Amino acid sequence: MGLIPQDKIELVKDANDIVDVVSGYVSLKKTGASFKACCPFHTEKTPSFVVSPAKQIWRCFGCGIGGNVFGFVEKAEHMSFAEAVRFLAERRGISIEYTDSGKPELRDQLLKLNELAAKYYKYVLESETGRAARHYLSQRGINAESLARWSLGFAQDSWDAFLKYAKTKGYTEQLIESAGLIIKNEQRGSYYDRFRNRIVFPVQDRNGKYCAFGARVTDKSLPKYLNSPETQVYVKSRILYGWPQAKAAVSESNTVIIVEGYMDVVMPHQYGVSNVVASMGTSLTKEQSQQIKRYAENVKLCYDLDKAGINASIRGIDVLIEEGLNVSVVVMPQGCKDPDELLVKKGKDAFLEAVNNAKDIVEFWLEAEKTSAGTELSGKIAVVAKMKPVINKVANELRRKGYIETISRKLGLEERVVEKEFSKEERSYSAAAVKGQANPAARERVCPPAEKELLTLILNSAEAAGRVCAELLDSDFTDNINAVIFSEIKRNIAERGVLDHSGIAAALAGEAAEAFTALSLDEREFAGQEKAEKDLVRHIMNNRIINRLKELEPEVKKVGRSEYDKNLVNEYYQLLRRLKGMKK
Ligand SMILES: [Zn+2]
């Protein structure tokens, strides 16, 4: 019995709804968005045990323990983590052992059904029903070869055409629903097709098996794109659209071009540029980066450079750099918003030119930060501080030095100053480090209220979380546990693009996990949420400045002895001014 692979663990977690599981042990009562019960782990008369279906976590506010679905089973069944995973896998008929002979796994059934669906949609596109859709595609410039290469299809304007078809092939509604192809109407208890009146882009996994579908409207109706939900065979963070078709070219050119949408993949391939794939959703994940790393060293990010695209590019830097990949950003020429448009309007050479002129990632990032850096030294130092943890992940020392040189030059800072800033000991906030200090005396930690408030606020608003993560550093949280939680939130958002509470709970351990569930389940409304967020961020930023001032103080006191570092002293006074300005 070896280690259970991470994807299996994820699968098991997703298949076991926490409310469902916990209901097997205590009777839960719905109160607002959560469920309550008397705690199964200690004796009590008033319920203080809370389960959140939205966040897939639980916590007892009486005994202070909490976690995700695995943590609950570990406690309730006195199991180890691995045992809990097996227990829950069995509960949903998921096989964890190496494929046993005989009966096909659910996974295989889903893949087969998806293949049937891909063929069906393709058939509809080619039939009389698909005439308008074919016309639309040809107007968009897609040729017959591309239709075949990508198995493009069409879902007709009907509530149950696919459902009926799949049933005639012997698939049950339950299985078709697990594949994400139909949706249950809870009121009527009946099912209907997920994809209706849309062009269908079948998505293949890295082995070329159909694992999901994307579907696009042919008119102005919304949403423009509709995608399969995550299923047993479709874990979004692991898929790159177009990978099977692009793989050989990626390997040969040692370069992958990453774009945003299906059309942005289809078009370049049609024009003979085949090392192009799309990340599903805009943020790149660790799994995707690792997959790329096995085939190529160079990554060219080619997102729409609106605000979301710029942020996605910057978020992408972190995971890609950590894998040791060379990253640059492709900027579309004026008047073209994406590769699809550029190719259709200006052709292959214009596209290749844009790709070849991709901007060095650090230069691109600095440009995006230019306004926030401002002209004052403190602003520039803040940008340096923001880039430091990412740039310091660059393993190649020459490249890292090169980046530091670029940063100095672009910000107009002395290289020596930037170098110094970069070599400063980075505080380490790994969850493992905190796990080690299970010291009961540390239980009575004094937790700065502003940090706690801010964490509570961002845990209940993914939007606010995105903003705050872009602004604050882990080290801004003076409480170690808060820093660990914040760091994990940040990682979660960067990897998944959403707040996955049960994932965060699983990544944390011990006290940090307990503190996290308490913050996460504190679902109060913040009066004037935006102002509260701003005030809290400012408060914490102030502390950052105050701490830096303290560090700089000895330098300033050297004045008169003529051996002080002028830059550091300048920084001191600028920070002092900034602090005064913020207090107004
Ligand atoms: Zn309890």
CATH number, domain containing residue 139:
3.90.980.10
Range in 89-93, 160-164, 331-335, 432-436 with the lowest mean pLDDT: 432-436
Could you tell me the strand order of the sheet in which 225-227 lies? 153-155, 198-204, 210-216, 225-227
The domain in which residue 394 lies consists of 364-423
Q: How far is the CA of 349 from the centre of ligand 1 (A)?
A: 66
Domain boundary pick from 357, 376, 391: 357
Contact 251, 296 (CB under 8 A): yes
At residue 3 the predicted structure's pLDDT band, cuts being 50, 70 and 90, is: low
- The predicted pLDDT at position 446 comes to 58
Q: Give CA–CA dist 478/448, Å, rounded.
A: 8
pLDDT for residue 282: 62
Beta-bridged to residue 278, according to DSSP, are 241, 259
Map tokens 């030294």 to a residue.
377
Clarify whether residues 69 and 51 are in a common domain: yes
**Long-range contacts: 79-83, Cβ < 8 Å, 24+?**
82/4
pLDDT at 440 over 60: no
If asked whether residues 296 and 320 sit together in one domain, one would say: yes
Residue 527 lies in a domain: yes
Residues 308 and 392 in one domain: no
Assess whether the previous peptide bond of 223 is cis (omega < 30° from 0): yes
CA 5 to chain centre: 20
Same domain, 216 and 248: no
From the CA of 420, how far away is ligand 1's center (Å)?
49
Structure tokens belonging to residue 538: 């400012």
Backbone angles phi, psi at 299, to 5 degrees: -125, 130
Same domain as 246, residue 227? no
Token representation of residue 402: 């090169």
Using the mean position of ligand 1's atoms as its centre, give its distance from the Cα of residue 38 in Å: 8
Tell me how far the alpha carbon of residue 66 lies from the centroid of ligand 1, in angstroms.
Answer: 9
Domain membership flag for residue 556: yes
Claim to verify: residue 223 and residue 257 sit in the same structural domain? no
Cα(68) to ligand 1 centroid in Å equals 15
Domain end among 184, 210, 231: 231
Is 32 in contact with 41 (CB distance < 8 Å)? Answer: no
Positive or negative, the CA dihedral 388, 392, 394, 400 is: positive
Residues 246 and 296 in one domain: yes
Q: Are residues 37 and 157 in the same domain?
A: no
Residue type, 222: L
What is the pLDDT at residue 444?
43
Residues 381 and 449 in one domain: no
Distance from residue 85's CA to the centre of ligand 1 (Å)? 23
Q: Is residue 118 part of a domain?
A: yes
Helix axes 307-322 and 286-293, enclosed angle (nearest 10): 60
Say how many Å lie between the CA of residue 504 and the centre of ligand 1.
21
- Higher-confidence residue: 247 or 283? 247
Radius of gyration of the chain (CA): 27
Give a yes or no: residue 437 inside a domain: no
Rounded average pLDDT over 283-287 = 81
The pLDDT score that the predictor gives to residue 136 is 96
Q: How many CA atoms lie within 13 A of 485 on its CB side?
A: 30
Domain boundary among 340, 357, 374: 357
Q: Considering only residues 548 and 29, tell me which one the structure prediction assigns the higher pLDDT.
A: 29
Give the count of domains, the chain.
5
Specify if 440 maps to a domain: no
Cα 542–Cα 544–Cα 550 angle in degrees, nearest 5: 105
Could you tell me if 259 and 303 lie in one domain? yes
* Ligand 1 midpoint to CA 431 (Å): 24
- Is 189 in the same domain as 211? yes
Check pLDDT > 50 for residue 435. no
> Does residue 432 form part of some domain?
no
Distance of alpha carbon 541 from alpha carbon 340, whole angstroms? 42
Q: Evaluate if residue 142 carries a pLDDT over 90.
A: yes
The answer to whether position 345 is within a domain reads yes
Residue 206 included in any domain: yes
Same domain, 16 and 56: yes
